[in-house]
Amino acid sequence: MSGGSSQSSPLSGQSSFSPLSSFKDLELSSDSGCLSIVVLGASGDLAKKKTFPALFHLFQQGFLQSGEVHIFGYARSNLSDDGLRERIRGYLKGASDEHLSQFLQLIKYVSGSYDSGEGFESLNKEISEYETSKNNKSGSYRRLFYLALPPSVYPSVCKMIRSYCMNPSSHAGWTRVIVEKPFGKDLDSAEELSAELGKLFEEEQLYRIDHYLGKELLVLRFANRLFLPLWNRDNIANVQIVFKEDFGTEGRGGYFDQYGIIRDIIQNHLLQVFCLVAMEKPVSLKPEHIRDEKVKVLQSVEPIKHEEVVIGQYDGYKDDPTVPDDSNTPTYASVVLRVHNERWEGVPFILKAGKALNSRKAEIRVQFKDAPGDIFRCKKQGRNEFVIRLQPSEAMYMKLTVKKPGLEMATEQSELDLSYGMRYQDVKIPEAYERLILDTIRGDQQHFVRRDELRVCDLPCICPSFAMGSLVDN
């Protein structure tokens, strides 16, 4: 059983965000040979909206080659190969028909349950047949399993993969498993899940994905001298990390209602963004160094105070037929995190997330303190703010107070604006999932959550009575 490999081929700089090809720290694998990618839960929302489109974009850019890769969709739904292809076709944008059909032809569908051997035996048979048909000269076989499924089925699915679908030990190569968030429901279930998965796979084989970690904040944070002296309690009044969606559950209530917005978004996506904003500079870009710093800052977070939590549910949530009529699951929450360390003491980090709100965006808003000795009386115009918009349309801008044009002495707020779409017009900015799936194929765990991180990422643990039910009932 091998999780990684040690040949060196740094990530090529596909994005204008991070031309990583010169980063000596990243010794990544570039092994070749048959690559079988299995999307479990292929009939679902994530698979059609994110997983297959990301695979398609990697294919378009030549990272996945027809001769080398095959993609298997697996789920219980009764679908044919063409049925699955039709289901995802509409989400694969920006390609010629020829390119699109080349990609779709790589996809095969296998139907089966998540807890019985039969389906996984058939899956293994399909993968093996494909591998044999490839007459693989390099002799290396790579199997990547993507769990695009509700976490409740991860243990049984992982057991099935371990029992029926591993890369045979007689073959060189690897078996890796991408596990989606949320990793359990609370500390106990996360620990239990980790323990169960830990019995089946080595840590190097497990890729706990959080696509907000694919949003590439590290360069901005640590490569700009400008920010270094400002990034602390002396200058920053508060930091807001905001996620808003302008649509509701849309038929995903079966999953969402069991988890709620805190477990769906705040505990994972926003907490990971918080780590990147608040952590100290890692020793290097090596995955372990980055993840060590994230763990440290999480350990410095104080217990959350009840009076600093707001939750709510949007009107109409229970109209979704997949949501129980008596649901009290929050679809909106805001939580204040306070970090007890030298850099951040006294600076609130306000994490807000909500579905069915007025707009769709995810952003980090760093609000600076007022300039002391305000001789221009410009306080009323607002503070300096540095805003990083993660989506849509990645951008960053700095809100500054400037002299209003004209002969009068008046000030106003304006922006120094860097929109990626405008600045890099000819560059295709990759989706977070593209980058993360490619990282997995290359064996780079830098942007994935480590097992011990999960333990300190647990919001209910940071505040023991932060269970959703208890707050809703109060």
Ligand X SMILES: NC(=O)C1=CN([C@@H]2O[C@H](COP(=O)(O)OP(=O)(O)OC[C@H]3O[C@@H](n4cnc5c(N)ncnc54)[C@H](OP(=O)(O)O)[C@@H]3O)[C@@H](O)[C@H]2O)C=CC1
Name which of residues 362 to 381 contact ligand LXAUTJHC (CB under 6 A). Answer: 362
User: Which of 216, 264 has the CB closer to ligand LXAUTJHC?
Assistant: 264
The candidate with the shortest Cα–Cα distance to 419, out of 391, 381, 379, 451, is: 391
Q: Compose the 226-255 pattern: x for residues touching ligand LXAUTJHC by CB under 6 A, - for all others.
A: -------------------x----------
Shortest Å distance, C-beta 58 to ligand X: 18
Which pairing describes strands 172-179 and 206-208: parallel, antiparallel, or unpaired? parallel
Using CB under 6 A as the binding rule, whether residue 264 contacts ligand LXAUTJHC is answered as yes
Identity of the residue numbered 156: S
- List residues near ligand X by CB under 6 A: 41, 43-47, 49-50, 75-77, 114, 148-153, 180-182, 211, 252, 254-255
Closer residue to ligand X (CB): 208 or 252: 252
The least CB distance from residue 169 to ligand X, in Å, is: 30
Give me the phi and psi of 408, to 5 degrees please. Answer: -80, 150
Q: Which among ligand X, ligand LXAUTJHC, none contacts residue 77 (Cβ within 5 to 8 A by kind)?
A: ligand X
**Rounded Cα gap, residues 104 and 84, in angstroms:** 9
Rounded distance, CA 356 to CA 318, Å? 12
31 vs 210 by CB, closer to ligand X: 210
- Tokens standing for residue 25: 């720290």
421: left (phi over 0), alpha (psi -120 to 50) or beta: alpha
Residues noted as catalytic: 269
Counting Cβ atoms within 10 Å, is residue 422 exposed (0-12), middle (13-18) or buried (19+)?
Answer: exposed
Residue whose CB is nearest to ligand LXAUTJHC in the complex, by number: 264
Instruction: Report in angstroms how near the CB of residue 251 gets to ligand X at its nearest.
Output: 8
* DSSP code of residue 265: I
Q: Which two tokens stand for residue 185?
A: 């429901």
Distance in Å, CB of 214 to ligand LXAUTJHC, minimum: 9
Residue with the shortest CB distance to ligand X: 44
**Cβ contacts of 377 within 8 Å, gap of 6 or more:** none
CB of 49 to ligand X, least distance (A): 5
The footprint of ligand LXAUTJHC (CB under 6 A) covers 211, 245, 264, 362, 391
